[in-house]
Structure 1
Amino acid sequence: MTGTVGANPRRAEILGAAAELFARRGYHGTSIGDLGRAVGLTGPALYRHFRGKEAVLAEMLLDISDRLRAEGARRAADPDPTCALDALLRWQIAFALDNPALITVHERELDNVPQPQRHEIRRLQRAYVEEWVAVLRRLHPGRPEERLRAAVHACFGLLNSTPHSASGLDRAAMADLLHTMARAALMV
C-alpha cells in the first residue's frame, strides 16, 4: 500500500487533503467536489485517481496502518528491548503529533470503510500492537501477555489523544511529556 501512495504524489496529495477535510467536516459532510477543489481538481477529475470517496477513505487508512506496522516492525527489531521501546515510542509520538487529522479520521470514520478493507486495516493494526507486545515481553518476561497488550492499547489511547491535548505546549515539550508518560505506563 505504501508504494502506491509514495509512487504517486497526486494520490498522496489527495489523501492528505481528504484527511484534513474528513477530520474537520466528517466523511459524510465532505463531497467528491470538496475533495477535488481542495487539490485543484474538479470532482469528476478526482475519479481518475480514485473510484470514489469510499476508496479514498479506505486507501488512507490502509496506507497509514501499513506504514505504522512496517516501521513498528523495523524499530521493534532492535536487539536491546529498551532501545526498541524508545524507538517505538518516538515513532508513535511523532506520528500522533504530526497527523492529528489521520487519528481523528480513523477514530470517527473506520466504520465507513468497506468490510474487506476494514478487515485488513484491523489485521495491520493488530500486527502493529503485537510488535509492541513482543518488545514488552522481552522487557518484562513472565508478565501475562494480556496485561502487556492492555498496556499497549492504553498507551495508544494516551498518545492518540493528541488531537485534543497537544495545543497547550510546543511540539518538543509535548513529545517529551508524552514519552515520559507513555514509558511509565508501559513499565507495568
Structure 2
Amino acid sequence: MTSGLTERDRAKADRQAAILREAARLFAERGFSGVSLEDLGGAVGVSGPAVYRHFANKQALLGAILVQVSERLLRGGQDVLARESDPRARLEALIAFHVDFALRDADVIRVQDRDLASLPDDERRRVRRLQREYVELWIGVLSDIHPERDQADLRVRAHACFGLINSTPHSMRGARQPAGDRTVRPILESMAQAALTS
C-alpha cells in the first residue's frame, strides 16, 4: 500500500478529523466552556471518554483546532507566493485564499475570536507566532506594491483587511453555502482589493 496507512490508521485519522470538525462547530455555537466531552463524543457517535483516545483533554482539542488552522494559513500563504511572482497577482491570490478560508472555516474563526485565551500559554504563543508569520507574508507583498509606505502603515492595512474578511462568519450566520459564497465572495474580494491597493 503506497500510503503506508492501514485501514485502522485511516479510520482513526477520519475519526480524529470528525472530532475536530464537530468540536469547532460546537465551540463556535456554545463557547469552549459550554461544551462537554460527552457533547463532543455524541456529535461523532462515540462516548465522551472515547474522545480521550484521540486528545488528552478538551484544551488539547482546542489547541489542535487553532494550531492546525494557523499552520494551514501560513502554508497556504507560502504556496501562493511560490506560485505567483507579480506583486499584484500575489495580492489577488492571497485575498482569494483568505476569503476561501473565511467562508470554509467560519466556525474556527468564531472559536479563535472567543476562545484563544482558553489555550495554555505555550500553545497560545505558538498560534500567535504562526499568525505573525502569516501577516508578514502579506506585509512583504504590500511593500512591493507600496514601496513608499512604512511597515507600520502596511501592517495596519493588512490587519484591517483581515478584520473585514474575518467578520464574514459573524455577518453571514443566516446564509447557507454555496449561495452565500456566490453572494459574499465577490464583495469581500473587491473590498479587500480596494482597501489594500488604494
Common fold, TM-score beyond 0.5?
yes
What count of residue pairs does the alignment treat as equivalent?
182
- Structure 2 unaligned residues grouped into runs of 5+: 1-11
- Per-residue deviation, residues 20-45 of structure 1 (Å, max 9, x unmatched): 00000110000011001000110111
| 2:30 corresponds to 1:25 | yes
- Structure 1 residue 50: Cα displacement: 0.3
SS at match of 1:18: helix
- Identity across the alignment (%): 46
| 2:79 corresponds to 1:69 | no
Task: Select the structure of larger CA radius of gyration.
Answer: 2
> Normalising to structure 2: TM-score of the pair?
0.89
Structure 1 residue corresponding to 2:148, chosen from 139, 142, 146: 142
Instruction: Tell me if structure 2 keeps the 8 A contact 1:65–1:124.
Output: yes
- Structure 1 unaligned residues grouped into runs of 5+: 1-6
1:98-109 pair list within 5 angstroms? 98-109=104-115
Corresponding residue for residue 123 of structure 2: 117
- Per-residue deviation, residues 41-77 of structure 1 (Å, max 9, x unmatched): 1011110000010000001000000000011111123
- Structure 1 residue 179: Cα displacement: 0.4
How far apart, CA to CA, are the structure 1 residues paired with 2:197 and 2:86?
Answer: 16
Structure 1 residue corresponding to 2:167, chosen from 161, 170, 174: 161
> Normalising to structure 1: TM-score of the pair?
0.93
Structure 1 residue corresponding to 2:188, chosen from 164, 178, 181: 178
Corresponding residue for residue 3 of structure 1: none
Alignment RMSD: 1.3
SS at match of 2:197: coil
Q: Which amino acid aligns with 1:94?
A: D
- Structure 1 residue 91: Cα displacement: 0.7
- Per-residue deviation, residues 72-127 of structure 1 (Å, max 9, x unmatched): 11112321011111111011001101111100000000000100010000000000
